[in-house]
Amino acid sequence: MAANPSIHVNRKLEGKVAIVTGGAGGIGEATVRLFAEHGARAVVIADIQAEKGWSVAEPVGSWRCSYVQCDVADEEQVKSMVEWTVKTYGCLDIMFSNAGTFGGSEKTLELDFSQYDLIYF
């Protein structure tokens, strides 16, 4: 967001520490940027796309934004990422769950609905 003195940015996230899963692109990327603009002290991007994750984190600033490679389908990776965040920043205030996968182009009647567990867990 370009600096514009006529636009007041709400700082309601001032001092908060957030994790954004799926933060390397799309809605997650926009969320990372908005959390930073709204005053978050730290935003951790948790995603499997390392290059994209770092490219989102860099312009936000290394003092405010970090990237952690994390596959949210792996509970141990999620646990490690949360523990790293708390150890690094002292707390975790916001967990924005945005990551999910759903592959294939199957017809609706041929879907394996257990795959929705990867999105809605």
Instruction: Residue 40: name the closest of 79, 94, 88 by CA.
Output: 94
**For residue 1, is it within any domain?**
no
**For residue 105, is it within any domain?**
yes
**For residue 98, is it within any domain?**
yes
- pLDDT band at 10; cut points 50, 70, 90: confident
**For residue 60, is it within any domain?**
yes
Percent helix, strand, coil in the chain (nearest 5)? 40, 15, 45
The domain that holds 38 is classified in CATH as 3.40.50.720
Task: Please name the residues in contact with 60: beta carbons below 8 A apart, sequence gap of 6 or more.
Answer: 32, 33, 36, 43
**For residue 107, is it within any domain?**
yes
Q: What is the pLDDT of residues 58-98, one digit of tens each?
A: 999 999 999 999 999 899 999 999 999 999 999 999 999 99
Full domain range(s) for residue 29: 17-118
Q: Which pLDDT score is estimated for 73?
A: 87
Residue 121 vs residue 115, higher pLDDT: 115
Instruction: Work out how many domains the chain is built from and give that number.
Output: 1
**For residue 12, is it within any domain?**
no
**For residue 9, is it within any domain?**
no
**For residue 69, is it within any domain?**
yes
Bridge partners, 20 (sequence order): 45, 96
